[in-house]
Amino acid sequence: MPVQTRRRTTSIESANPHAARGGSGRRPGGRGRSSGPASKRTRRKDPGWARAMVIMGAVLMMLSGTTIVGSKWLIDQATGNIDQANLLGVAGKTDAEGGDSLEGPIDLLLLGIDHRGSWAESDTRADTIIILHIPATHDQAYLISIPRDTEVQVPAFPASGFSGGTAKATEAFFHGAQNGAGHAGGAQLMAETIKGMTGISFDGAAIINFSGFRAVIDSLGSIPICVDADTPSAHMTLVDGKPMWNSDADKVSGDKQQVVHEKGCRQMEGWEALDFSRQRYGLENGDYDRQKNQQKLLKGMAKKAMADGVMTNPLKLRELMEAAGKAFVLDTGGVPVADFVFTLRGVAANDLVMLRTNGGSFNGNGQGREELDELSRDMFRAVKDDNLAEFILANPTVLAGQQ
């Protein structure tokens, strides 16, 4: 008998948030197939604090002791009517791999885009590709970045009209987003592509709009980040001391200075942290250093939320909820978000371990693209087999610089 996949629609459209109340027969948290076109799918509501925590990594520093009861109430309130997009398509875990159960290892695919409101969804690439792996012991979490220029085999994707072919990893999202498939289609094709390359199936996925992260960080006030070397910005200019996009700065007069992120550890405001995390030109290891810095961003957000007692302050939680609704799209495979939160409550922010592929340096194939070296492929096999901790002990060079 063939293995049945988990109950996941392959439609690119969001589920109707009211359908479950209409007696559709679907289980709570499941998704049905929408009859409307993708361009008119129901807009998602602000996802709430728990949804933000799952993605930004702060869920990985979670709940204990006297805070757990109050936080459970807040989570239930925030996630009761969340409409989640289908971002995984056929790349979700099968029943044989654990299906909807969170009892075993958990693997999430995090895709970072830089999309602004005036841009078409079809004009988007995923410049950040991260696998978040949590072993079955649920006491550790690992972030593994996949280089954007990695050569991949992208499967055919009828929803967007893509016939399949060889491309850079960042381009898989673009090919999936065409012809009305949108960001959900881009994520589905990316998930299928990454599964084909690594063998890893996923429990959930998220699209992170890094432009929207500024509001999330600002709601925290600032976040701690360490800069390894002076890093000039290729994107922003200070005009009379005010940060502006280069394109905007070119249109105004005033005292102009290039933004330079100076070496050292400090608290960064939202605009500074995001700009720093986007830099790759001029860095010693290019995109690999950017991967490390974006991992620092996620970890810094988690650490700040923990240090500031966000969990126990309703006003801070509310502000974070509103900001997070503009930064994330989430797929938990039909599993209630609160279940993720409480399953992972034993993992702390300091338990986030950052890993790197190809020894942290460009492994070109002579055509401007990268190939994963054998050690990196072995690392992904260790993720799939849930023996990553043992693999790291035997191969410590996969560890990225920790903050």
Least confident of 185-199, 205-219, 252-266: 205-219
Is 115 a residue whose pLDDT tops 80?
A: no
Helix H or strand E segment including 70: helix 67-79
Instruction: Give the tens place of pLDDT for each residue, 49-68.
Output: 333 333 343 333 332 222 33
pTM above 0.95, yes or no: no
CA dist list (Å): 65 to 70, 187, 297, 312: 11, 37, 27, 12
326 vs 121, which has greater pLDDT? 121
Q: What is the pLDDT of residue 114?
A: 72
Rounded-to-integer distance, Cα 74 and Cα 79, Å = 9
Rounded (to 5) percent helix, strand, coil in the chain: 40, 20, 40
For residue 286, give the nearest of 83, 113, 383, 148 by alpha carbon: 148
Assigned superfamily of 50-221+280-288+307-398: LCP protein (3.40.630.190)
Instruction: Give the tens place of pLDDT for each residue, 155-191.
Output: 999 999 999 999 999 999 999 999 999 989 999 999 9
Confidence at 306, pLDDT banded by 50, 70, 90? low
**Mean pLDDT value across residues 211-222:** 79
**What count of residues does the chain have?**
403
Q: Where along the chain do its domains lie? A: 50-221+280-288+307-398
Instruction: Give the tens place of pLDDT for each residue, 352-364.
Output: 788 989 888 888 8
